[in-house]
Structure 1
Amino acid sequence: MLVRAEEADLPRLLRFRTDASAWLSKLGTDQWAKPFPASHILASIRRGEVYLAKEHLEKDAAATITLDREADPVVWTSAEAAENAMYVHKLAVDRAYAGTGLGTQLLDWAGHEAARQGARWLRLDAWTTNSKLQAYYVARGFTHIRTNTDALVVSGWAAQRPSRHADHGLDIRHLEQPNG
């Protein structure tokens, strides 16, 4: 099932990132090696943009995804940012759920939600040097738009696919509107 993250979930969300960083390091990439500001994640939680996938409400989260309308100006042109699109950020699946298709389900849900909200595109960016992650997204219908090769841009591989209604298989009955 999919639920909106709450402020109390911040430690788990940070752990997704550190766990993924440790695993990626073993694969030879420095993706997510730099700590991400907790304040940025907390702001996304408060805006109702962060979601957790769980087997049951009482269980620990199996995955997380952030879905918003925030076009990173380092990745997307001003013309692209003006288009009606939604953006996937910080998708992470706990290693215990790797290979189960949960990442694909979350991407399909995000595309469905983008279509439901009238967005034309579902977009994301990926670590510039992580060709396996890029291939994963291409295999899920994303088209590579460009790669920002500026040495200061680490997540500059941009891709998109049309938003579309999909049978994502996630129980979304527990999604609640954000507070305030």
Structure 2
Amino acid sequence: MIITHAETHDLAKLLAFREEAAAWLRALGSDQWSRPYPADKLLATIEAGMVFMLRDGKTTAGTITLTPEAEEGLWTDDELAEPSMFVNKLTVAREYAGQNLGGRLLDWAGDRAYRSGARWLRLDAWTTNVGLQQYYLSQGFTHVRTERAGAAVNGGPRVSGWLAQRPARAAAHDFIDCTAAPSGDAK
């Protein structure tokens, strides 16, 4: 499998991934991702080169967004002073579930963060999705705190404020990385 940058033509696939994941989560009793994600915001992250696609031949098996910027209001100034990269929107196609692709994508992101000069790979997860939180803990993340204050950037109450981190580190992920080498852009 290869990792590439997402391209603008991937927008429809990424939105469909989110809908597929939301339906699966709904069946599990979670309201995570129940609000549609603004296509213009997703397109902006694609154009900024922060969205990555895991491809198995012509099939997209997963996606991950890796940014040098945190969502506003989640991390303290002291935490933001530490070089970090932030994982968002990790999604694996249901047909690829159970193959540890999510864990390997996290390893790839941690390796990329490390090569960018980051100390931490950080994320925020849905505050009520205990299963997802346990998944991230099983992937070596440590819970920092749950931030409930403030509103989400796209309006409404903060729903994704369970904060976790793990050290950025070199890691074997066994993907062919077809993206440009990171440029030391961790903040």
Percent identity between the two aligned chains: 53
SS of alignment partner, residue 65 of structure 1:
strand
1:167 aligned partner, one-letter code:
A
The structural deviation recorded for 1:176 is: 4.8
TM-score by length of 2: 0.90
Cα deviation for residue 99 of structure 1 reads 0.6
2:21 partner amino acid: A
Are 2:176 and 1:175 equivalent residues in the alignment? no
| Contact residue 74 and residue 156 of structure 1 kept, 8 A | no
Under a length normalisation based on structure 1, what TM-score does the superposition of the two structures give? Answer: 0.93
What is aligned with 1:2?
Answer: 3
Q: What is the rounded CA distance, in whole Å, between the counterparts of 1:122 and 1:79 in structure 2? A: 15
* Separation of aligned partners in 2, 1:38 and 1:102: 25
How many residues in Structure 1 have an aligned counterpart in Structure 2? Answer: 174
User: Which stretch has the larger CA shift, 91-100 or 77-86?
Assistant: 77-86
Please tell me the root mean square deviation across aligned C-alpha atoms, in Å: 1.2
1:1-180 paired onto structure 2 within 5 Å: 1-56=2-57, 59-150=58-149, 152-172=157-177, 174-176=178-180
Which 4+ residue blocks in structure 1 deviate beyond 6 angstroms? none
Letter in 2 for 1:64: T
Distance of 1:141 and 1:26 partners within structure 2: 27
Letter in 1 for 2:83: N
**Contact 1:64–1:91 (CA<8 Å) still a contact in 2?**
yes
Are the equivalent residues in 2 in contact too, given 1:148–1:157 (CA < 8 A)?
Answer: yes
Unaligned runs of 5+ in 1: none
Shift of 1:70: 1.3
SS at the partner of 1:144?
strand
Q: Which range is displaced more, 146-155 or 81-90?
A: 146-155
Counterpart for residue 185 of structure 2: none
Which ranges in structure 2 are unaligned for 5 or more consecutive residues? 152-156, 182-187
Cα displacement string for residues 119-143 of structure 1 (whole angstroms, at most 9, x for unaligned residues): 0000001000000000000001000
Q: Counterpart amino acid of 1:10? A: L
In structure 2, distance between residues paired with 1:114 and 1:70? 12
